[in-house]
Amino acid sequence: MSKRDRAARAKGTPEADATDGVTDAADVLTDETASRPTGKRSSTPRGKRSTAPDSEAETASSVALKERSSRSSTATDQSRNPFIRLWIFLKQVVGELKKVIWPSRSEMVRYTIIVLIFVIVMTAFISGIDLGFAKAVLWLFG
């Protein structure tokens, strides 16, 4: 169903009723693609988008916007004291560390061995390349 047909059906015109049972692949394709978002959201708040706002919805959205703006300003300007800000930061760090899933002892030993083997292999590889280049430079320039 095309956008024009949907608009006609919404208005209640008789020509929209004639094509109610008829759909083809192109109409289904446009219906699926029309339901997806196509770009960035607008910068206007959701309550401000409609041209004829409902008075109850308008007041509710303006209250929500006022609450959101007042909360954001108090969150950024909690305190000018650096020690209080540091204490809050450390409390947040501890709170985040409590959410971490720590590895078991056997997993930690396994990961440590893997890392050590990788470091030894890479050190040997880079040392070999360095030694090879040093020999090549001495052979080339004498």
State the pLDDT at residue 63. 61
Main-chain phi, psi angles of 23, to 5 degrees: -135, 145
44-72 tens-digit pLDDT: 666 555 555 555 555 555 666 656 655 55
Contact 91, 78 (CB under 8 A): no
76-107 tens-digit pLDDT: 556 789 999 999 999 999 999 999 999 999 99
Per-residue pLDDT band at 20 (split at 50, 70, 90): low
